[in-house]
Amino acid sequence: MRSFYGTELPNPLMLGTAQYPSPAILEEAFRTSGAGVATVSLRREGAGGAGQTFWQMIQDLGVHILPNTAGCHTVKEAVTTAQMAREVFGTDWIKLELIGHTDSLQPDVFQLVEAARILTDDGFKVFPYTTDDLIVGERLLEAGCEVLMPWGAPIGSGRGLNNEYALRAMRAEFPDTPLVVDAGIGLPSHAAHAMELGYDAVLLNTAVARAGDPVLMAKAMMQAAEAGRLAHEADPIEARDMAEASTPVIGKAFL
């Protein structure tokens, strides 16, 4: 496993903490999946007992906390939310979301780069939710990011990997950068496919939280991501247009 800002994770699955039917199911899903990272929105850490109970449960999971700036649409909003999250959650990790399009929740890449530069200068370890554009990826690295998290498809869509070509190109362009497919994964096969492309982790939420059985789906996603990682490391065969016999013809009897 490639490390993320010097931290090596137990498996290539990162899980969100929203939309679960209950806190108990969320906790069981996390423990079943073995995910080493939990993404948490600052908005979940509200005032009062419910927020404190939720935060205590997340702490008890013993995973790395990755606060996010979900719902932010401006640089100022994102930077302020990140700074508040650092105080609340006690970590300099931040998943930087800066949404530019309401329907698709596509990142505003122009503001994203600006916010990433401000936050890295402020000591944050930024995990930017971005598109699969190579130039944007390059600008984010120049801004100080050491991880890139391109989307597979729009958040919560469950469509899988909309642009495999672009994701392959990003992996080839940034061979030494940790890459995470973030958003759009709906099935274990999508997670496996991302890892087969050479990505280092997958980050998902809706596919597990809103499944009929979130705990079972969490286990399936973990196993799929691990299988995809092992498949990539095994150097799989290339696809062919024609058949290739697996049994040799040498020594075949001629009648």
**Burial of 157 per CB tally in 10 Å (0-12, 13-18, 19+):** middle
Q: Which residue in the block uniquely carries the two structure tokens 């993320």?
A: 4
Residues near 149 by beta carbon (within 8 Å), at least 6 away in sequence: 95, 127, 128, 129, 130, 179, 180, 181, 182, 203
Neighbour tally for 239: CB within 10 Å: 5
pTM of the predicted protein model: 0.91
Could you give the 3-state DSSP secondary structure of residue 35? coil
Active-site entry in 95, 125, 219, 252: 95
Average pLDDT over residues 187-199: 97
Residue pair 40/17 in contact (Cβ under 8 Å)? The answer is: yes
**78-105 pLDDT tens trace:** 999 999 999 988 999 999 999 988 888 8
Residue pair 217/225 in contact (Cβ under 8 Å)? The answer is: no
**How far is Cα 207 from Cα 191, in angstroms, rounded to an integer?**
11
Is residue 95 annotated as a catalytic residue, yes or no?
Answer: yes
Q: Which pLDDT does position 253 carry in this prediction?
A: 63
Among the ranges given (225-229, 243-247, 251-255), the one the predictor scored with the smallest mean pLDDT: 251-255
Residues near 222 by beta carbon (within 8 Å), at least 6 away in sequence: 11, 13, 32, 33, 34, 35
**Which residues lie across from 66 on neighbouring strands?**
39
- Of residues 90 and 52, more confidence is placed in 90
**Which residues lie across from 4 on neighbouring strands?**
7
Residue 246 has pLDDT above 90, yes or no: no
Residues 104-122 as b/e (b if ≥16 CB within 10 A, e otherwise) read ebbbbbebbbbbbbbbbee
